[in-house]
A and B are shown apart, each in its own frame.
Chain A
């Protein structure tokens, strides 16, 4: 699979373990983008000429491909600028209208800022209470605490917004289980799923989750930057107002007002990211050709190797599930004893190993739950191989030797 990704041909020494930040792109996706700009370029929904009509047709078929991939209907797929734009649209276009004082919004301590900050803002503005569910003893979502909160507050809970796979701990939260609990205690609550670390790594089924919204970014799914997807269940279309107004979203404009197009076009003002949608359709085609189950089991076996090797090193603490590996994805954060995360990353970079160091846009998790300022994160995708893990472990061992303090340190 690695040979499908030209980045590795041009950077033969690269050990890429930062796919949770952005994935590499297969040749098929790059070709699709090049083809569009070299042979097919035109705007969509506008011109009555062949190129524009073909672009429109491919754009809408891209929507259908995305819809089928997550078991949605095409009119439930809204193209946005990214996960962040998607979650902001949900907060400003829907939650803003329904939340009132005393309502409760539930999320978790392990959320990415893109999910958390729009929720925090809308809850504050509306006088609603934002409650964050903590971690269980294996860094997973604390279902018991969640159920307690549901029992206590019941129908006052209006929104539950959680990531399906967290971007630091790699823990998987089972949205089917979340929805079942909601159906028992707060049936009307809106379920928003951040699927940025899930799509492309395994099967996604919005009907099975019975979620109201689900979002992800194309660039983490082997496609282009600048494109996001928001799945909006049809039952929410009458409640979700567009946030951006402009061309392409209206049926009729009069001085007194406008008549908006139906979903999803009403949420896509302006010229959309056409090549992005084509690249995402090509990426999904590539992923499905390899098979999501094959990808999931490949990543699971690499994750198991990585976790077990890290656990053999006493200086390393894995920040994420280690007991029940079936509840985790290939996003593996860890701390290295007495070596700052940035120093670890810089040392690994000198060995051509790309990881992420910092708080990974999850400051609350680091400061509040883990009481650390930063961690190192290695994250996997289908193009990783067992040798990447071996290279990482070898380099980590060397890193510990390199940064070892002298016998009589003068520093406190």
Chain B
């Protein structure tokens, strides 16, 4: 699916949501696509940790702590697809737990931004990889 044929992608490129560096954030990470020069810095805010009410505890220890990503913003320099992907992911992934974001797959990304060709796949993946890396480095 090309950005040329998808109005929604073009709209996110022209009017990127959650763009820019926020005053406060918990995690930040920059990632560069070396071969094409695109780069992104993501800024992630976390909600206060809460105990996972859905998890069942088999012993007397506390249930595992789940941490929810409350908001994602970014500064990106790149092609329309990488900007649109960052914009759409910032909406899609906010409110999910870190585990859910780390499990967010390429297939799910394609559901969001459309079918990716081999040459453009890395553009759409750059924001996702940056977000995942920022989260996993925190642990």
Contacts and interface: CB of A to CB of B under 8 A. Distances in A.
Interface string A327-344: 000000000000011110
Interface magnitude class on chain A: 20 to 34
Interface in A389-412: 402-406, 409-412
A340 B19 contact: no
A372 B81 CA distance: 18
A202 interface: no
SS class, residues of chain B in contact with chain A: mixed
A404 B119 CA distance: 23
Interface stretch (B62-70, B72-80, B130-138): B72-80
Given A359-B35, A374-B37, A405-B14, A350 B120 contact: no
Contact of B36 (A347, A374, A402, A412): A374
A343 B79 contact: yes
A340 B15 contact: no
Nearest to A403: B80
Interface in A355-373: 358-359, 363, 366-367, 372-373
A210 interface: no
Contacts, number: 66
A411 B36 contact: no
B118 to A, nearest CB: 13
A404 B80 CA distance: 11
B80 A410 contact: no
A83 B18 CA distance: 47
A349 B2 contact: yes
B86 to A, nearest CB: 9
Contacts of A363: 35
A341 B119 CA distance: 13
Interface in B33-56: 35-38
B139 to A, nearest CB: 30
Contact of A373 (B3, B37, B120): B37
Contact of A340 (B10, B14, B79): B79
A256 to B, nearest CB: 48
Interface in B75-116: 75-76, 78-81, 83
A346 interface: yes
Among A372, A405, A412, the one with the most B-chain Cβ atoms within 10 Å of its Cβ is: A412
Interface of A: 340-343, 346-347, 349-350, 358-359, 363, 366-367, 372-374, 402-406, 409-412
Interface of B: 2-5, 10, 13-17, 19-21, 35-38, 75-76, 78-81, 83, 119-120, 123
15 contacts: A342-B79, A343-B79, A343-B80, A343-B81, A346-B120, A349-B2, A358-B36, A366-B37, A374-B36, A409-B14, A410-B15, A410-B17, A410-B19, A410-B20, A411-B83
